[in-house]
Amino acid sequence: MRLLVLDEDFDILGDASLFRSLIWTRRYTSLGMYELHVPRTSFPMLIQGRYLYRNDADELGLIEEPHYSIDENGKREVYCKGYFAEKLLEDRVLDSAFHLSGSLEGSMRAMVERYAINPTDPEREIPHLKLGGIAGLPQTAACQRTGCSLSEALYDIGGSFDVSHRIRYDFLANDLLFEVWQGKDRRDSQDEDSWAVFSDGFCNIRNVTYNKNTADYKNFAYVAGEGEGAERTVVTVDMRREGEERRELYVDARDLARDDGEGNTLSEADYQEQLRQRGREKLSQYRMVETVDGGVDPHANLVYKKDFDLGDLCTYINTEIGIMTEKRITEVTETYEGSSMSLDVTLGDDEAATIKQLIKKGV
């Protein structure tokens, strides 16, 4: 692995490969981040740097917090940390209504094109940002968003379909490439891709924490749109699994209008589909929390980034406590210290992140 510090024009300022430690946290449903500890001689380039490039990873780090300190005993600490390049999209807001219709992937790409790549105001353009390859995802969506950051809209809309997005850095072309993507299905209940089964029986997991919390879980939504009283348009969204008890949520979606703001009026069917999409997004914020968090032996039967990776849907079996579940890998933390590397994987929705999201958004 080689680490390079780059300036805002992607010119190389120096090599940070001789680090003390590196924590590289990749996330599927929210912004990933890193923390790099280096010798004091590296601090001048951190101050000037804008990006941290790693030649063996898709992610590009933003140098947002360079730090230098010396204590009373003369011990120095030098580090930098920040989010990955997807955070650039947090600096653009949807100042006007954006209507998604048809292909989810195409709509998400069009949203980035409109607000960050070819905006009407050229000062809103994010330098070097381009649309990358097309994954060809099959999901469709019909909804409208306004008044939030571009990053929030992409995570919310994509998250309701288990879809994510990323910004990859092309080192040779100096391009930031926006892509919509979804992890592979590696459950043992399918036969298209190779299986990824994490189990104490296979000796490929360690230091395991299993948690389940249904306190805030909702699976059925009433979504109320335009109108007053008995004339108000109300649709329902049912996301119950077979045999599951009904847990209801009321969603006020009065902000969704039939008039698309461009002189067009949505049909009743299209308008109701937009309301249903709002319901799906809200219910995704009240998911049942079930996580498996722990270390994975990178030298066991499954090879990281070959047999499993961030975003993949995997099977987890713990024979000791009688648990078998199928969950998506939502977070991977790589920790490097000297010549050693450890890997921590989270399968499922993280409880702390879910609670923070609920406090921030409400209903």
Give start and end residues of each alpha helix (H) in 122-257. Answer: 150-159
Give the rounded percent of residues in the chain with a pLDDT score beyond 90: 66
Chain center to CA of 9: 26
Task: Kindly give the pairing relationship between strand 3-6 and strand 51-54.
Answer: antiparallel
Structure tokens at 337: 């210290």
Identify which has the larger pLDDT, 217 or 339: 217
b vs e for 249-277, b when ≥16 Cβ sit within 10 Å of the residue's Cβ? bebebeebbeebeeeeebeeeebbbbbbb
**CA pair distance 45, 7, nearest whole angstrom:** 9
Structure tokens at 90: 């947090």
Q: How does residue 163 score in pLDDT terms, banded at 50, 70 and 90?
A: very high
For the segment 264-282, what is each residue's pLDDT rounded down to a tens digit?
788 899 899 999 999 999 9
For the segment 19-63, what is each residue's pLDDT rounded down to a tens digit?
999 999 999 999 999 999 999 999 999 999 999 999 999 999 999
Q: Which of 91, 134, 90, 98 is nearest to 114 (CA)?
A: 98
For the segment 277-298, what is each residue's pLDDT rounded down to a tens digit?
999 999 988 988 888 887 888 7
**Tokens 């498996």 belong to which residue?**
292
Task: Kindly give the pairing relationship between strand 175-181 and strand 129-131.
Answer: parallel
Q: What is the pLDDT of residue 293?
A: 84
**CA pair distance 149, 280, nearest whole angstrom:** 19
**CA pair distance 211, 352, nearest whole angstrom:** 11
Structure tokens at 52: 């941290």
Element (H, E) at 208: strand 205-213
**CA pair distance 232, 53, nearest whole angstrom:** 52
Q: What is the pLDDT of residue 97?
A: 86
Q: What single letter denotes the amino acid at residue 228?
A: E
Q: How does residue 261 score in pLDDT terms, banded at 50, 70 and 90?
A: low
Q: How does residue 72 score in pLDDT terms, banded at 50, 70 and 90?
A: confident
